[in-house]
Structure 1
């Protein structure tokens, strides 16, 4: 039996799978940020039965070109942290991927620009409401922390990660898996010896 969700479109209560399909079509057609340097190309992964939600920042240039989230060294490390293979990671029935900004925002002097501010107000609440089966949300990066866990807004990412047990097992703040964070991982070995085993065990139970 299908389950109804809170979201309404045109006065009709849609079933969970229909809602996700409808939202996916709507988001993929979004052109709110038509002035993006490479044009709008929303990149995300949604599934009505997903138990795990990964919340990142915004696609980078390589992701924009490929059209696949985390298909890079950062994704390789993230899959290692989760203890899953590529087939499982890209199975939308198991894992949802919802960046704070769906499109590549462009590059500034210090790297990629922040997620576009128009994106979250336009889509985030209704998409999250449709993901009714999610039991664990992985929150990656400053902008994701500020939206999903605003109580940690004044904490550094390191401080927020160290307090991981405060929001566990429903949520977990992660450092970005980018190779740029190799130094952070070496400086904070407790993360891979304490947090990662707990994360992998939880993911096994969920998936």
Structure 2
């Protein structure tokens, strides 16, 4: 059964050590801990970047300030957000990638998406709504859909063009909810005024 295949695949992913044992560059500097949420019935798919330090410790997606902001954006309480039967959370990299010299999180590991994403998505239904957080997640989502024509030169341009992207693919491009984007949100009040009400309505519709 498809559900059984997905459960076996999730177990394989959670035991993955590619970035430590067979890395494409310097190995992951700590023990891998893949963090994701998926099921054969999820109708909302959140495509993020990679877990941060708090998520690496908790083993649960978005257990940090970014998660608080994201749940507010989506209009979801914790119980709904963490209901795997309804919400899939699939970062581009499943493990915390470590930090750079300035204390910022590194980009998602390059080994992860090629190894797992196609196999994983093949065992899942097409979501009613996909939320893409940040440039890597949006670029991958659009390219997978064969819509390179919708790939904007910058994330800002993609978010400005969100209506066209959503109308054609039911993909909502969003900035990452990290505290690092607080300045962007303050400079672009239209995002909260125009995008978030539509986002919350579409999330509710997808999960109804």
* TM-score, structure 1 as length reference: 0.89
1: distance between equivalents of 2:5 and 2:164?
32
Q: Counterparts of 1:17-28 in structure 2 under 5 Å?
A: 17-28=3-14
1: distance between equivalents of 2:51 and 2:78?
18
* Match in the other structure for 2:180: 180
Q: Counterparts of 1:90-169 in structure 2 under 5 Å?
A: 90-110=82-102, 111-150=104-143, 151=148, 152-169=150-167
Residue 62 (structure 2) pairs with residue 62 (structure 1): no
* TM-score, structure 2 as length reference: 0.88
1: distance between equivalents of 2:79 and 2:43?
16
1: distance between equivalents of 2:139 and 2:76?
27
Unaligned 5+ residue runs, structure 1? 1-14
SS of 2:38's partner is coil
Q: 1:133 to 1:16 in 2, by over 3 A?
A: farther
Backbone CA RMSD of aligned residues: 1.3
- Higher share of residues assigned strand: 1
1: distance between equivalents of 2:153 and 2:70?
23
Unaligned 5+ residue runs, structure 2? 21-26
Shift of 1:109: 2.3
- Higher share of residues assigned helix: 2
Q: Deviations over 1:54-76 (max 9, x none)?
A: 00111111110111110111101
* Match in the other structure for 1:202: 202
Query: For this pair of structures, how many residues does the alignment match?
Result: 193
2: distance between equivalents of 1:29 and 1:104?
14
* Match in the other structure for 2:16: 30
Contact 1:78 1:177 in 2 (8 A): yes
